[in-house]
Amino acid sequence: MWNSGLSKACLALSVLILFIGLASPLALADYSTVEIDGRTWTTNDNFEPIGSPDAVHGGELRTNIPNFLPTLRRDGPNANLTTITDIYTLTHESLLSIHPESLEWMPRLASHWIIEEKEDHQVFWYRIDERARYSDGSPVTADDVVASYEHIVDPDIKAPMSSNLYTEYYEKPIAHSDRVVSVKTKKKAWRTFLYFSASLVIYPAKQIRIPGDVYLDEFNWKMIPGSGPYELREDSIQQEISVTLYRRDDWWGRESRTSKGMYNFDKIQLIVVRDRELAFEKFKAGELDYYVVLRAQRWAEETGFEAIQKGWIQKRKVYNEQPQSFSGYMLNMREWPFDDKNVRMAFCYGYDRETLFEKLFFNQYEYLDSYYPGSRWGNPKNRKVRYNPRRAERFLDRAGYTKRDANGVRVHEETGKALSFTLEYGSASATRIHQVVAEGLGKLGIEMKLELMDYNALMKKISERQFVLHSQAWRGILFPNPLTSWKSDLANEPYNNNISGFASEEVDRLMEQYDRSFDIEEQTRIMQEIDGLIFKEHPVALSWYAPFERVLSWNRFGVPEKVLSRTGDSNNIWSMWWTTPEMQEKLAEAKEKNGTLPLIPDVVDPWGVKERMESPEKASE
């Protein structure tokens, strides 16, 4: 699914500092220690609350999702979707979490932790908060952590990325009591504490300790109870229409420092609107509460209507430091025609981003020249691939596509096979982009036919590797993790992020070095080398990124001073905004009387991202 505003600006220096301190959290922030049962435990109760002190609970939020969910599972086939991840962020919890501003560790299900450094491994200890409860009222225990590990490493859940990672990094955890659990790592790596603490979803053992194939069947359309601030209820699912999250009045963490000013809406309704044009119209009609503007043309030409001019709808372009990722056309290197590097190179040089930037994007975006763009991890020596028909034609000639048929399509000189294939895609709003790309390729003799299809059916085909090429945008993560996208043993396996089928022994070796290094400069060197090696193979025709979120919202919401968090995206709205009856009445009165409400600045730049981008130093680069 294309998302032209997905990638964000480079991370601040604090992110880099966190890399150095991950092995020893005492190197960061103002952590506290306490002696319990003869052990020195670490905790953090001094961080700045994330939410606004002005926030209040109540009301509801309505937003759109592009397709109905293919499953309610967090793991297994068809579950690797951002909407599912976003839902589980609110319904389930990990042991610890990371502060989105300071990037320090915060308690979650675990109130305290210990890191023991050994010569060739580490041991992590966690003390489960005695208040922690699941939505069914049962307490969270140390055995739940053990069962959640057993679940994620079960190959029968068909989630090879996760199962391989946890199998490779950790031994089976040990529950020492109802509240204390430890896990020993199989090797020493800087990311081991990060993944076990902040990524492992904790489920109740009494429900998750089942065979993987039973899990896939039993919980395809039933969610295992979670310990988070929201839950799904019996009326939450309206097939093909909506998914509704309800705030838990009995949430165990309601009074914790982590939740101050957070999780304010009583109800969050995710309404299926498959066409973004229709979603925009539904927003303007008041059927949706906010709308994320992905199209630069819309932002430039279609956001000056009366409701915005009168302040009924607020318009914000928010610059922040959310980690960036990459997007583009994933080229299936396993099969014809993209098993030939010359064809991949021809596609990349025939990918007319210049026309897209000029005619559709108002030159608001930046070219992607790296898989880790805008940060120190990207290789600055990567060649800047731009639309170049002559160079593309030379690569086609090298690949043997020297002739053309009656329709002008290139034909292989030996096999007689025409260079014609179909791009299947799941979003009608992306048609205008794919058409421009197809036209540019057509001039070179590459025929890319377009077929719009059901999104969930498409995701199944992509997961099972039944495709020629696929347009995809990835959500960025705080810490680069090349293993889940580029490791060779995932290349020919279904249901993982190595969509293109990239495999390289050299990259595998470097990823091992990257894991073992605790030095930030060495990590940087290794990641740049990894980026360069991947880039040279061109498994993806890279697209663009933007360091901002463009949001329209009806003027009945309270927002934090900075609108979003430093490293978050528009989904911060779900957890950080709020509404009151007074706000709703004020908007209703303004509309009824055709009055006005105070206008706000269009551009929000709390962390100076826009300023840095436009500085003389940046302009001279």
- Say yes or no to pLDDT of 19 above 50: no
- C-alpha span between 263 and 571 (Å, rounded): 12
Kindly tell me the sign of the dihedral angle through the C-alpha atoms of 372, 490, 170, 148. positive
Structure tokens at 175: 């529950």
- pLDDT higher for 620 or 294? 294
* pLDDT the model gives residue 508: 96
* pLDDT the model gives residue 403: 94
- Say yes or no to pLDDT of 547 above 60: yes
* pLDDT the model gives residue 491: 95
Which pLDDT band holds residue 20 (cuts at 50, 70, 90)?
A: very low
- C-alpha span between 327 and 3 (Å, rounded): 8
Q: Kindly state the average pLDDT of the residues 378-393.
A: 95
Which pLDDT band holds residue 190 (cuts at 50, 70, 90)?
A: confident
- C-alpha span between 212 and 120 (Å, rounded): 32
Q: Kindly state the average pLDDT of the residues 51-67.
A: 96
Which one-letter amino acid corresponds to residue 46?
A: N
| Residue percentage of the chain with pLDDT more than 90 | 79
- Say yes or no to pLDDT of 56 above 60: yes
The answer to whether residues 379 and 532 touch, using CB atoms and an 8 Å cutoff, is yes
Neighbours of 84 (CB within 10 A): 19
* pLDDT the model gives residue 377: 85
* pLDDT the model gives residue 161: 82
* pLDDT the model gives residue 375: 75
* pLDDT the model gives residue 30: 79
| Long-range interactions of 429-433: CB distance < 8 A, separation 24+ | 429/2, 429/275, 429/276, 429/277, 429/294, 429/295, 430/1, 430/2, 430/471, 432/360, 433/2, 433/356, 433/360
- C-alpha span between 555 and 587 (Å, rounded): 6
The answer to whether residues 317 and 609 touch, using CB atoms and an 8 Å cutoff, is no
Half-sphere exposure of 534 (CA within 13 A, CB side): 34
Which residues are 328's β-sheet partners?
472, 542
- Say yes or no to pLDDT of 26 above 80: no
- Say yes or no to pLDDT of 619 above 70: no
N- to C-terminal Cα separation, the chain: 32
The answer to whether residues 248 and 230 touch, using CB atoms and an 8 Å cutoff, is yes
Q: Kindly state the average pLDDT of the residues 183-195.
A: 92
- Grouping H, G, I as helix, E, B as strand and the rest as coil, residue 46 is coil
- Say yes or no to pLDDT of 502 above 50: yes
* pLDDT the model gives residue 382: 96
pTM score, two decimals? Answer: 0.78
* pLDDT the model gives residue 6: 27
Q: Say which DSSP state 162 is in.
A: H
- pLDDT higher for 482 or 313? 313
Which pLDDT band holds residue 515 (cuts at 50, 70, 90)?
A: confident
Structure tokens at 433: 């982009």
Domains of the chain, CATH where assigned: 31-52+63-226 (3.90.76.10), 273-307+553-620 (no CATH), 327-545 (3.10.105.10)
Which of 137-156 are b and which e, b meaning 16 or more Cβ less than 10 Å from the residue's Cβ? eebbbbbbbbbbbbbbbbee
User: How does the average pLDDT of the chain come out, rounded?
Assistant: 91
Q: Which residue matches tokens 């009656």?
A: 406
